Each structure stands twice: as structure tokens, then as C-alpha cells.
A and B are shown apart, each in its own frame.
Chain A
Amino acid sequence: MDLRLTKTQNMFKRAAADFVKVEAPSHIVTEWFRNKATFLPDLYRKAANLGWLGMVVPERYGGASASFTDCAVVFEELGRVPLPGPLFSSGVLSALLVLEGASEAQKESLLPAICSGRSIVIVAITDKGVDWGTESVETRLTNTTGGFVLDGTKRFVYDAEGATSFICAARMENGGIALVLVNRESPGISITPHVGFMVSVAEVRFDRVKVAASSVLGEAGAGWQILDGALQKALPILCAYQVGACQEIFDFTAEYTRTRVVFGQPIGRFQRVQDHCVELSIHLDAARWVTYEALWKLDSGLPAAAGVHEAKAVASEAYYQVCNFSHMVHAGPGTDYGHPLMAHSLMAHTLYQYLGTPLHHKRKMMDALYPRGKG
């Protein structure tokens, strides 16, 4: 047993921390979120140059052959900001999706471009706001001469704005699910940002978009298994991002209890305020340890499915609750869009939904441990 990070991991962590300090100071970040201007091409390019896209992708495809934990420590620091942009959605999830299910030729053409940041590939999964299971895939893929036609509307597509192409989960005529790679510029695609208490998400409409037969990723009909396989590995990285966010909130909230004085004393001397901080810390540390345990399982080749779903449930719930407890401590000033907490609150609500709510993942965890119909 050894619960320390390795030397290399500490180095990665420091590099990421230094980067965000320079590139994403708090007053600029609050402006991004206030204006919902969360796709920042320059920043994305710089992050790509540091090798943070496709870290877990093998070197022969342009990645860094890093472990999941290596990658997670970087994302933990990015989550502190919270740094927006498709670093996770393209650089981790799509990269793993291609790695998991694409043909060799597709890997060779897609992965180096994703890892270098030249391509931003975004996965579009659900047609329904309320569900992320197989049933939520309704966009249809129909055979035509010389290829397919894609027709439907994807909701809650995270980081759609910066996409150069989409991987769209689509329902085939035989009921199976295929993953189809579609260039963003294809005629018939329109992107409408979701308006509301969330960031970086859009509705993507595929209006009779023509796609070539060669655009199907891997085996048609195996789309859901491929997606599931990729999520199994990608989710804990997203969790690490949420852990970083929770840690940052814990730190600035504790600091606020020292500096804010009312009724003649720092608010941290009020036991009720202390209670908020205790609850906050429990969510933070539960998320931290469940996440790093899941990462350890992945890196060690142990069965990880239940642990991964658990981590997504715990980390998303934690981020959400940590924001709420921090709001209780900050009261009025924390509700100002100029306050760093608001960027986190927006992000926390978004990630609570993204790729499935805590309840969705708790149920997946239970199904992985105790399949139904087995008494």
C-alpha cells in the first residue's frame, strides 16, 4: 500500500499548476464564464503544446503513453480553474473512443490530429435531456446509395462549439447503434448553444446529413459497447477535474472564513459556518479517494467498472454539493458572477448532467456488481 503520487506525477501536477496560474488568473476566468465564452482556441493550442491532449494515447498515435493517474493529476489542476474547453471531451473521451473502437486506419488518421489539437472531435450521445442510456439514442442512420443519411437532434453536446467534427451515436435501421464520424462543415449540421444555468453545451442538429460508409467508427452495431468501453476509462479523468475544482473551492472558502469579519469576528469562528466547511470537505475527500482508487484499478488492470461509475456519481455529486456549501459560507458575494464560485457553480451543474447524473451512475454501479435477474 502506498498512497503517494510518484515523482513524475508531482512534476506533471506542478507544470499544470504553473500553467493555469499564468494563463487563467481568476479575474479573467470569471469573465469567460460571465460571457459564456468558454472555447478559447489560443489556450487550447497552448495546452496541446504541453502534451495534455491524448496523454493516455500510445506514443505511436501521437500520445504520451501516460497512465490514467498521470493524466488525472493534470486534470485535477485544470479543474481548479475550472479551465474550460474540449481538453477532456476531445483529448480524453474521443481519443479513447477512437482507440477503443476504430479501425487501424481510422486510428492512424484521427488520433495524431486529436493529440496535436488540430482536430477537435466531440461525442454526441443523447437525444434526450433526461437520459444517457442506450434508449436515449434516437438520431437515425439510414442506408442510401453510396452511404448513409444521419437525421436527428442531439442535446447537451458538451464543447460542441469548438468541434471540427462530431462522433454521433445513431440508431440504425436494424435497431443497433453505430458511431458515425461527421465533419462539422457537412451540410445540414447546425449548432445552437443551450441557454440556461450551464456552460459549454449546445444542441446539435443533423438535418439529413450525408455520411460516407467509411465514416462509421469500427463495427457498425457495436457503437454502444465501444462508447461504454471508452467511458469506463475516460470518466475517472473527468472526476479528477471535479476533484481539483472541489479542492480549490475548499481552499478559498477556508480562506474566506479567516478574512470575512461580521459581528466583530471572523465568520470561521461561528460553529454553523464551520459545519458547512466540514460537509464541504467530506464531499471533496470522498470524491478524491473514490476517484484515485478507480484510477489505480484502471492502471493496475483490475476490474474497474463499478468503481468508475461510483466515482462519476460521487465526484459529480461532490462538485455540486461543494458549491452549495461554499455558497452558504460566502452568502451574498458568492452569487456575483464576478466571484470565482460562480464559474464553479455553472461548471458543477453542467458536469452533474454531462455523461449521466449521479443517479444514473449509481444504478450502473449496482448493475455492474449485482446484475438484475440473478436472484
Chain B
Amino acid sequence: MDFNVQADTQEISVFRKEVREWLQENMRGAEGLRWSATWSTRENEEEYQFRRKLARELGEKGWLFPMFPVEYGGAGLTIDHQLVLETELDHSGINLAAVFYTLARIVAPVILKWGTEEQKREFLPPMLCGEVSVWQVLTEPQGGSDIATCHTKAIKNGNHYVVDGQKTMVGYHHPPDFLWTLVCTDPSGPRHENLSWLYIPGNSDGITIQPMSLMMGIKNTVFFDHVRVPAFNLVGGENNGWRVANTHLELEHGGEGRVGADPLVERVVAYCQQMRVAGAPLMEDTSIRDIIADMMIELHAVHLFARRNFWHRYVREPHPYGGAQFRYYQRMVRLRNGERLQQIMGCDALVPNLTVNEVVDFEYVVRSGPGMLHGGGTLDTDRLVFARRVGLGRPTKETAPTTI
């Protein structure tokens, strides 16, 4: 087994050097910015613009999707290159999967798997190059977890679909260029055989976006009122949407994997080394060290699960239950860490520190703990998927869909 780029080959060390130098050059000007990594209530226009620019520059080199084919805007590199890129970006506080507000990391592989050649050539390059942002638009107010009960209708009319309905809890602070949307194309059809996916331009007439202020940041309700979408933008076949959704959900439910790791523990340790209580650094306190140890061990397991899932995805042998297991665990660990941070640093854990990346902004970790439990499906759907994949109480096991 090799958990890393064990000994950098000549090619990989040259690449690492190239990435480092590139980052030094391209991160210039970012020093004064406050980072908000994935999404949050701490909106800052200057930072957002910087992130978009950084994404375009990464995208130009194919580095946003290092392992994707060159013809669609990837770089056609290996898993070891991906590892180098993620690790080096992590050092700068950037998560390669979320350089700016977009969910291309999930939508792009789904389109790569289900799109026609023409669709891939049209939709993928702008997404992979970081030029456009895309939201995933599934949840409805009535259906909630049960996304197959989809009331948003898309009825074919000539070369177009006409979309009517409402989605909720989707997207980010900035309006999207595209909405990757689950719709019902056959209202009288049987469950799971009446759905389709539309790649809807964000500037289409009839779309209204209403921001919602949530404990973890901004999400939106989206209203579709007679929105006309070219039939070309239906991906994966009419009424075949549930199968496409399986690919989508496998990625979203943890099957995506990740090779990099978040630096939360290092930041906690740095805090404890500096903060003195009763004449000694907090880091000398045995009970504090015990709490940090638990935090570190659980985060390490989360990280190894993510790496395992990435590996399985990469060799096209999806882990049977790894995605759901990872996501359930990651979110429970995050929740526990919120409490641990409060135990370690008292009320300092409740004060936002706008000078740091939000991944390691302690207040954000604490605040988002309970909210982040539900994104893309709740802890209960994770466990439900796990049970089916392992075949608990069932004679057969549901197989995990292959993703790209």
C-alpha cells in the first residue's frame, strides 16, 4: 500500500515545485483577505472576486480538475498530481473542491458520465475552467429528503421544456450561471421513472431567487415560473433522471472522496501553545491534550475514509458503503468538534476570527456543526443508504453506482 506520493518521482517533484511557485505568484494580494472557503455568512466581495480569478487561473491550467480529460478542460494528470495539488492548496487555506461558490465538483462528473458528446463539449469546458458557477437544485419544500417526490414540472413544448415549481435550501450568496435541476417530466408517470435533469442557464426569464439566512450561511429558495429551457439541456435522457440522480447522489453522499486534509487540529494546537492559563500554556494541560487527541484521531479517520473513497472512485470500484459511512461520520465528528472547541478555548470559540480561512475559523466550526448535518441529505438518509448497501435485513445488497 502507498498512502501518499511515497517518494516523489522526478516528475512529481518537478510538479510540486511548479505548483508551489505558481501559488506563491498567484496568491499574492490575498494576504489581507478573509477566507470563506465553502460558503458562509461572512461575505466579502473583494475576496469573492479574488477567488473567481484564482479559479480561472487554476482552470486555465486544467488544475481545477487535474484528472479530467484535457478535451473537456481537465489536465489529464494522475492521482499523484491530484494529491500534490490538493496538499499544496491546503497549505494556502484553499480547498481545491471549493475554490469559489460552485458545485462543479459534483455536477461535472455527472455530466461527464451521462451527457452526450455534444453536451459534454458545450457544458464541461466552461465549468472545468472555472468560468461559470453552478448550483445543485434538488430539494423542494414539500418533499424534503424524499427528492423523488418532485413537484417541479418540466413539460416539453417543441424544442423546449417549460419549467414550473419551487426549490429550496439551494446555492450560495452569489447568483449562479447554471442551475443543475431535478425536474418531473412525466407528472402521471410511475415513481422513479418520471424524472429528468436540466442544466438551466441562470439568466433565463422566469427564475426568481430569494435568499434565506441560515445558521451556516446563505441558501436560497428558487421559483421557476414558465422558464423555457432548450431541450438540448436535458442530460441523461428524459425520464431517466433517477439513474442520473444515483450518480449525483453517490458523489454528494461521500463517494466523491478527497485526498487532502483540513488543518483544524494544527490551528487548535497553535492556539493552545500561545494561550497561557495559570502560568502555563494550555498545551501543557493533560485534560486539554486528551480532548485534542480525540479530535485529532477522529479527524484523521475522517480523512482516511475520504482518501479511501477517492481511491475507490479513481479505480472505478466504488466502495459499497464507504460514501454514506464517511458522510455520516464526518458530520458527527464536526458536531463533536464544535463542543470540543468550546471545552478547549471557552468563549473564544464563539467569536469569529475574520482573519482566517473559515475551515479553521473556530466560531464557524461551532456554529455550522448542527446545520451542516443535513446538507445533501440528513444523517438518516446516510444511514439508510448504508443499510441498503450492506444489505442489512435484506437478501441482496444494493450496488454502489460507478462514478467518474
Contacts and interface: CB of A to CB of B under 8 A. Distances in A.
Contacts of A359: 290
B277 interface: no
B293 interface: yes
Interface in B40-97: 79-80, 83
B188 to A, nearest CB: 31
Name which of B1, B80, B269, B380 has the most chain A CB atoms within 10 A of its CB.
B1
Given A257-B392, A258-B391, A265-B393, A362 B290 contact: yes
Interface in A305-324: 310, 313-314
Interface in A275-320: 275, 277-278, 281-282, 285-286, 289-290, 292-293, 295-296, 300, 310, 313-314
B301 interface: yes
B3 A293 contact: yes
B80 A285 contact: no
Interface in A342-375: 359, 362-363, 365-366, 370, 372-373, 375
Contact of B393 (A5, A267, A293, A375): A267
B329 A292 contact: no
A1 interface: yes
Contacts of B166: none
A42 interface: no
Given A1-B2, A1-B259, A363 B289 contact: yes
Contacts, number: 131
Contacts of B79: 1
Contacts of A292: 1, 3
A254 interface: yes
Given A365-B293, A372-B284, A258 B1 contact: no
A319 to B, nearest CB: 15
A375 B283 CA distance: 7
Contact of A273 (B289, B301, B393): B393
B325 A1 contact: no
A268 interface: yes
A365 B300 CA distance: 13
B301 A290 contact: yes
Given A282-B329, A296-B1, A3 B393 contact: no
A271 interface: yes
Name which of A5, A69, A271, A366 has the most chain B CB atoms within 10 A of its CB.
A366
A135 interface: no
B300 A290 contact: yes
A342 to B, nearest CB: 22
Given A69-B1, A254-B390, A274-B386, A1 B311 contact: yes
Nearest to B293: A362
Contacts of A3: 1-3, 307-308, 311
Interface string B285-300: 0100110111011001
B393 A2 contact: no
B304 interface: yes
Interface string A1-40: 1111100000000000000000000000000000000000
A313 B297 CA distance: 9
Contacts of B321: 281
Nearest to B78: A1
Contacts of A362: 290, 293-294, 297
A365 B297 CA distance: 10
A365 B6 CA distance: 22
B300 A296 contact: no
A234 to B, nearest CB: 19
B199 interface: no
Contact of A258 (B297, B325, B392): B392
Given A258-B392, A281-B390, A363 B290 contact: yes
A286 B290 contact: no
A269 B388 CA distance: 10
Nearest to A251: B390
Contact of B2 (A278, A296, A373, A375): A296
A290 B305 CA distance: 10
Name which of B3, B5, B284, B290 has the most chain A CB atoms within 10 A of its CB.
B3
B351 to A, nearest CB: 24
Contacts of A293: 3, 304
B387 A268 contact: yes
Nearest to A266: B393
10 contacts: A3-B307, A258-B395, A274-B386, A278-B328, A282-B301, A285-B301, A286-B301, A286-B304, A365-B293, A375-B281
Given A2-B311, A270-B393, 16 more contacts: A1-B259, A3-B308, A254-B392, A258-B392, A258-B395, A271-B380, A273-B393, A278-B386, A278-B387, A281-B321, A282-B301, A290-B297, A310-B300, A362-B293, A370-B269, A375-B283
Query: 7 closest Cβ contacts across the A-B interface?
Result: A268-B393, A268-B392, A286-B301, A266-B393, A289-B304, A269-B393, A274-B387
